[in-house]
Amino acid sequence: MLPQKISELKKRLIEYATLVENMIDRSIKGLVGKNEDLFYEVMKRDEPRANNFDREIDEMCTETIAQFDPLARDLRMVLMILKMNKDLERMADHAVNISESGLFLIARPMLRPLDLVPRMAETASAMLKDSISAFIQEDSDTARKVLEKDKIVDDLGDRILQEVTAFMKEEHDGIKRSLHLMRIAHNLERIADLSTNICEEVIYIVEGKDIKHHHGSEI
């Protein structure tokens, strides 16, 4: 019974992750392709569904622990699914934030540094996808590879910050646009961070080893 329950939980989480992956893709494509329909899809259609997933998975986890008293790897799996569920919920919010700022930005002339944002988005979204693949295959090697990419996203974020500040110094009427662009970059950075969380959780499920907060030293 417990194995069934756990594989059901796993399936639900993967479905949730797929929705969130698609939400992030849509919010980025909306920005790059100036397509406001995609933003509305994220905000009006996807976000309520993401919240449903979140509630449902929470409940399923509580039920599983209460009914089956899982041990060892099973317990780790349930606990980490509970955490990943929260990570995904946050990411869905980030996709909504990106869509909101995107709606503001595409209605106005574009700021210069936009070419960095798609690159950052691409890396962040690939990190999420790989972290979910690592979870599906319960593969800690894939998870470790994702952790290394976090730096790329951080660096791109820094570069966007520099370009946006330079722009604000020159052009005072673009400040609101600059802030929205910065908000998008920040949300992408958070998506990348949460993807590394998922990877750490995968490593914990597979190896029973907590590698949080000491990257690089022993992984």
Partner 1 sequence: MNKVFRNLLLVQLSVILAGFVGLGWALRLSAQQWGPFLLGALVIVLLSGLVLRGMLLRPISRIGKAAEKFAQGDFRGRLPHIRRDELGDLADSLNYLSDELQKKIAEVTKDRTEVKAILSSMEEGVIVIGRDERIILLNDPVYRMLDLRSRDTIGKSYWEILRNEEINSSLKEALLEKKTVRKEIHLLTPADSQFLMQISPVVLEKGDLTGVVAVFHDVTEFNKLAQMRSDFVANVSHELKTPLTTIKGFVETLKEGALNDPQKAERFLDFIKTHTERLELLVNDLLSLASIESKEVEMRWGGVRIPEVVQTAMAICKESIRQKKLTVEISFPEDLPPVRADAGKLEQVFLNLLDNAVKFTPAGGRITVSAVQEGGYVRTDFRDTGVGIAADHLPRIFERFYRVDKARNREQGGTGLGLSIVKHIVEAHEGKVSVQSEPEKGSQFSVYLPLAA
**Interface residue list for partner 1 (CB under 8 A):** 11, 14-15, 17-19, 21-22, 25-26, 29, 33, 38, 129-130, 132-133, 136
- Nearest partner of 125 among 15, 37, 22, judged by Cα: 22
Smallest gap from residue 210 Cβ to partner 1 (A): 26
- Smallest distance, partner 1 to C-beta of residue 19, A: 5
Closer Cβ to partner 1, 136 or 161, answer by number: 136
Task: Report, in Å, the least distance between residue 218 CB and partner 1.
Answer: 28
Place of tokens 């979870």: 135
When the beta carbons of 101 and 142 are compared against partner 1, the nearer one is 142
Closest approach, Cβ 130 to partner 1, in A, equals 8
CA distance 10 to 217: 30
Please state the closest distance from residue 157 (CB atom) to partner 1, in A.
22
Name the minimum Å distance from CB 158 to partner 1.
26
96/211 with CB nearer partner 1: 96
Q: CB-wise, 15 or 171, nearer to partner 1?
A: 15
CB of 26 or CB of 149, closer to partner 1 = 26
Q: How far is the C-alpha of 32 from the C-alpha of 131, rounded, in Å? A: 24
38 vs 211 by CB, closer to partner 1: 38
- Kindly write down the DSSP assignment for every residue of the chain, as one continuous string: -HHHHHHHHHHHHHHHHHHHHHHHHHHHHHHHTT-HHHHHIIIIIIHHHHHHHHHHHHHHHHHHHHHH---HHHHHHHHHHHHHHHHHHHHHHHHHHHHHHHHHHHTSPPPGGGGHHHHHHHHHHHHHHHHHHHHHHT-HHHHHHHHHHHHHHHHHHHHHHHHHHHHHHH-GGGHHHHHHHHHHHHHHHHHHHHHHHHHHHHHHHHH----TT-TTT--
